[in-house]
Chain A
Amino acid sequence: DTGVSQDPRHKITKRGQNVTFRCDPISEHNRLYWYRQTLGQGPEFLTYFQNEAQLEKSRLLSDRFSAERPKGSFSTLEIQRTEQGDSAMYLCASSLGGPTDTQYFGPGTRLTVL
């Protein structure tokens, strides 16, 4: 257990539905990241927060995706009008920052879109 928690661990939804995932980072970490991982691939960067500010969004993050970190603590990732191609593991990570910054990953949320 790295100290980063994600909820839910698994989500099955029908195409077109909206889903929301939550990430609780390690409490003193000011950086929070979202990644997407498909089978047999490494994680792909989606977005990054420094405290409550969303500093970067990947081009992978279409208009259907939105992430928030309202108080600089937990974060949510919402996917609207889900598509089958959204099926993946969504990973959250947090870190303190610095030259040899280590990101600590949560267990992930496995999304299956039927």
Chain B
Amino acid sequence: KNQVEQSPQSLIILEGKNCTLQCNYTVSPFSNLRWYKQDTGRGPVSLTIMTFSENTKSNGRYTATLDADTKQSSLHITASQLSDSASYICVVSRDDYKLSFGAGTTVTVRA
């Protein structure tokens, strides 16, 4: 069973609207949680990283939250743009180099 579960699997939103992606994890011990953006046919690119003590981190129109007690994270996209169409992957790191990847949420932004 995957230790990082993301929802929804996919979503479609209209340009200019907001959306929120969810990530639940069971990875332990916990070091940090990242959100990556992966465009079709490209490698993932890091958007945010949060350690245990951080509960929110922003990168432009992307805002990630972390609740380490409930082991949940969210990624909020504000005022979506067509270029936001991509897969968003939640990645949890243990104390070593090992990363646990979620399956991703595919976001499609339509004009």
> Which residues of A21-78 are within 8 A (CB) of B?
31, 33, 40-45, 48
Bound-complex Cα distance A114 to B43 (A): 24
B residues in contact with A103, CB < 8 Å? 46, 99
Stretch at the interface among A11-19, A80-88, A94-102: A94-102
Bound: A104/B49 CA distance, A: 13
Give B89's nearest chain A residue, CB to CB: A42
Judge whether B41 is part of the interface by a CB distance below 8 angstroms: yes
Can you identify 19 A-B contacts, CB atoms within 8 angstroms? A33-B97, A41-B104, A42-B91, A42-B103, A42-B104, A43-B89, A43-B101, A44-B101, A91-B44, A93-B43, A99-B31, A99-B32, A99-B51, A100-B31, A100-B32, A100-B49, A101-B97, A102-B46, A102-B49
Q: Size of chain B's interface in residues, with CB distance under 8 A?
A: 23
Residues of chain A at the chain B interface (Cβ within 8 Å): 2, 4, 31, 33, 40-45, 48, 91, 93, 95, 97, 99-108, 110
Nearest chain A residue, comparing its CB with the CB of B98: A45
